[in-house]
Amino acid sequence: MSVDGWNTVLVLGGIRSGKSEFAESLVAEAPTVRYVATAADAPADDAEWAARLAAHRARRPESWTTEETADDPRRLADVIASAGPNETLLVDDLGGWVTVLLDPAHQPADDTATVAELAAAVRGCAARLVLVSPEVGLSLVPTTPLGRAFTDALGAANRAVADACDAVVLVVAGQAAWLKPGAPQPGVVPAQAGPAPLTATGVPAATGATTEPAAATTATGAAGGPVGAAERAAGGPVPASAEPDGAAWAAPTMALPVVATGLVIQPGMELPMPDEYAGPQAIERLATLDVPGAGLGALERVVGFAAATQGTATPAPWGSVRVLLLHGDHLGGAAAGSVDGESARRARQARAGRGVLARLAAESGADVQVVETPVSAPMEDEPALTGEQVEAALRDGWRLAEEAADAGVHLLVLGACGAGTEAAAAAVLAATAGAETPAVLGRVVTASGEIDDAAWMRRCAAVRDALHRTRRSPRGAKDVLAELGGGDVAVATGVLLGATARRLPVMLDGPVGVAAAMVSRDLAGQARHWCLLADHRGDPAVRLAADVLGLTPLLDVHLDLGEGANALAVLPLLRSVLALAAALPARPSPGGGGEDGDDDGEREPGVDTDEPDFREPEPAGPGPTSTEPETEPVDPSGRRAG
Q: Which residues are catalytic?
A: 563
Angle of the 145-164 helix axis to the 94-101 helix axis, nearest 10: 130
199-208 CB burial, b ≥16 within 10 A, e <16? bbeeeebbee
By the 8 A CB rule, do 36 and 76 touch?
A: yes
Q: Which residues pair with 90 in a beta bridge?
A: 35, 130
> Whole-angstrom Cα distance, residue 466 to residue 552?
30
* Chain centre distance of CA 410: 19
> Whole-angstrom Cα distance, residue 331 to residue 66?
43
Secondary structure (DSSP) of 281-317: HHHHHHTTB--SSS--GGGHHHHHHHHHHHTSSSPPP
> Which helix (H) or strand (E) segment is 460 a member of?
helix 453-469
Amino acid residing at 161: V
Phi, psi dihedrals of residue 66, rounded to the nearest 5°: -120, 135
> Whole-angstrom Cα distance, residue 425 to residue 413?
18
- Provide the pairing of β-strand 167-172 with 175-180: antiparallel
Q: Which residues pair with 55 in a beta bridge?
A: none
> Whole-angstrom Cα distance, residue 37 to residue 8?
17
The alpha carbons of the chain give a radius of gyration, in whole angstroms, of 30
Query: Following CA atoms 521, 523, 529, 530 in sequence, which dihedral angle do they give, to the nearest 10 degrees?
Result: -130
Q: Which residues pair with 640 in a beta bridge?
A: 634
> Whole-angstrom Cα distance, residue 185 to residue 197?
14
Determine the 3-state secondary structure of 516 from DSSP.
Answer: helix
